[in-house]
Amino acid sequence: MGGRIPTRGSRRGQRARGQRARGQRAGGGGQRARGAEGPGAEVAGPAPRGTGAGRARRSRGGGTQEGLGGGELGVEEPATAAVARAMSARNLGTELDLSWISKIQVNQPAVLRRAEQIQARRMVKKEWQAAWLLKAVTFIDLTTLSGDDTSSNVQRLCYKAKYPIREDLLKALNVHDKGLTTAAVCVYPARVCDAVKALKAAGSTIPVASVATGFPAGQTHLKTRLEEIRLAVEDGATEIDVVINRTLVLTGQWEALYDEIRQFRKACGEAHLKTILATGELGSLTNVYKASMIAMMAGSDFIKTSTGKETVNATFPVAIVMLRAIRDFFWKTGNKIGFKPAGGIRSAKDSLAWLSLIKEELGDEWLTPELFRIGASTLLSDIERQIYHHVTGRYAAYHDLPMS
């Protein structure tokens, strides 16, 4: 007799499912429909104009298997090759535009709602999770910034950067020939020579990043900070993570901040400039947005959340504000600026949430090592443990992953 006769209960269920589907299409998960596009809701200010043709694309399904890109267990090209190919493009900076900066106000409740959305998402599982964890490895700036760092510690770090996942695990996933490495290694200026020497001995072209400018406080004389950059570059660092003087932000000295970062950029020469905002010490989300914009105007190739030494480090509300600043700067100038969260990102689950955030806010174009990095020292260990579990069906004992 054909199909089922719909009862009132089944019709009610169909209507509810239809409403949920319409809500998901319209809002991508709830709060999206209330103005998460552009600077209107979370960041209120003048709508940037100019490069409308290149607006960042955003995914609607960041928390699903399809939304995060499917289940192909592969890496398109070695991370270091991608970085070498694409990071040649530099941000030349722009003139300081205080008229734009002065009008900005951040809608904190809207930012917090958006952050809750991201954190509440159900993450991918099984082969999709393994694929995205391998991708996350290629974004890591593998870091050691301890007072007891030695040449042997740095050598061990560099070896792990070149061989981040055990080869038998990669063979089980059929990606052993993809040249999987971390994006860079990050050390103190005094350890740059050790890192360059270790990577050269290993036959690796992984970039060496160095913190500088009185890391982590940034409270030394400007002349000293500039000399620290020059020495790190002379020793072989190709990326410099500078830290700003937070006093200039807290007292509203935007011109002075702009001038300092311009001098940092000049001291870097051909090395790429990553500017650490130390957002946990900036006082407000509005200050985070303004500092982000000033850093990009001054020529930063990346903006970075934290030193990892503050009480509050990389958080989703702060990241959303910084990503909206990056997007606004892109719309206004056509320049793509990289983003690097750092501090407190320790678990594989954390890394998936950050990848989902980047995909939704800036699009797939930013999911490359030349535009997205994760500063971490212990994250890689947990990712390798999760890969081990995916391949073997059990969690690794301490001796199973001796280099973690």
- By the 8 A CB rule, do 396 and 168 touch? no
Short-list 205, 187, 229, CA closest to 85: 205
Q: What does the DSSP assignment read for 130-186? A: HHHHHHHHTTEEEE---TT--HHHHHHHHHHHHS-S-HHHHHHTT-TTS----SEEE
- Kindly give, in sequence order, each residue whose CB lies less than 8 Å from that of residue 106, ignoring residues fewer than 6 positions away: 42, 43, 44, 284, 285, 286, 288, 289, 321
In what helix (H) or strand (E) does residue 272 lie, and over which residues does it extend?
strand 272-276
d(CA 224, CA 82): 33
- By the 8 A CB rule, do 109 and 324 touch? no
266 counts as catalytic: no
Q: How many residues does the chain have?
A: 404
332 counts as catalytic: no
Helices and strands per DSSP (H, E), number in the chain: 15, 10
| DSSP letter (8 states) at residue 376 | E
d(CA 229, CA 237): 9
Which residue of the set 160, 304, 336, 359 is catalytic? 304
Which residue of the set 235, 241, 350, 382 is catalytic? 241
Which residue of the set 340, 350, 359, 382 is catalytic? 340
Q: What is the largest CA-CA distance in the chain?
A: 87
| Catalytic (active-site) positions | 241, 304, 340
